[in-house]
Amino acid sequence: MTTAFVLGGGGVLGAAEVGMLRALLEHGVRPDLVLGTSIGAINGALVAQDPTPGVVDRLTALWVSAAQTRDVYGDRPLRSVRRALSTGTHVYSSRPLKQRLVDELGETTFADLPVRFQVCAASIERAAEHWFDAGPVVDAVVASAAVPGLLPPAKVGDEHYLDGGIVNSVPLGRAVALGASKIYVLQVGRIDRPLKVPTQPWQVARVSFEIARRHRFVREMAELPEGVEAHVLPAAGTSDRDDSIFAFRDFASVEARISATYDAARAYLDQHP
């Protein structure tokens, strides 16, 4: 049996995945394969490097530190405006994110990891889904987390990449294609909330993206081959407030979200051993 952890995208809501990982690892569930997209690539990289309960403390400290320092999306407003005007493509620098990853992972390559790990990003030049499975892990994760408009496109080799959520936000089908027979889906709670008709310009883009990401996930769930078992772990502590235009900077509820989702995931696993 091949057990896969599929960690989806979702920005700051990705803290919920830490609670899920704690519940899984405490229940003795260990992955043979880890797949990550966007924030899921960040969380996934650490668990692929250290698939033990101890990684939860590392992840929690990383998230709490991000909440306290606000360095990833924490530039002064004037500096952000200047960067947006000068580049025309992004508001924030990717350097703080990359430095945090280097602090955690150093020069680790995919081959160094004890658990097979793959990261999804969107190739600009090929207009295609791309899976990193070799080379430096940090470069791949930065590419997967390059949120359009917020962070610059990431160059790896001769190509440029944007956030993997554009092409495969919850990569369930990838796990199936790689031979997983038992899959745990770590999602951030958005797929549980009904969509509302947009009333503001920025909501149009968000709703459009949500339709695309949910449609693919629902289709892949319906198309699971016989003999493949998928568990979609519940996320807790999310609400409609998390869909606001500035929600990507709201780290205030990180610890509460981790704790609430841990309780929900633990209860689920107790019922689905």
Q: What is the DSSP string of 108-161?
A: -BGGG-SSEEEEEEEETTTTEEEEE-SSBHHHHHHHHT--TBTSPPEEETTEEE
What would the pLDDT profile of 249-269 be if each residue is shown by its tens digit? Answer: 455 678 888 999 999 999 999
- The answer to whether 16 touches 188, Cβ cutoff 8 Å, is yes
Choose among 243, 210, 234: nearest CA to 12: 243
- The answer to whether 178 touches 23, Cβ cutoff 8 Å, is no
Angle between helices 54-69 and 95-105 in degrees, nearest 10: 160
**Burial zone of 202 (CB within 10 Å; 0-12 exposed, 13-18 middle, 19+ buried):** exposed
Dihedral sign for Cα atoms in the order 128, 94, 238, 33? positive
User: For the whole prediction, is pTM greater than 0.75?
Assistant: yes
| pLDDT in single tens digits along all 273 residues of the chain | 999 999 999 888 899 999 999 999 999 999 999 999 999 999 999 999 999 999 999 999 998 887 665 565 555 554 544 544 455 564 677 888 899 999 999 999 999 999 999 999 999 999 999 999 999 999 999 999 998 888 899 999 999 999 999 999 999 999 999 999 999 999 988 787 788 898 888 788 888 888 888 889 999 999 999 999 999 999 987 655 555 444 444 556 788 889 999 999 999 999 997
d(CA 160, CA 221): 30
Q: Strand, helix or coil at 236?
A: coil
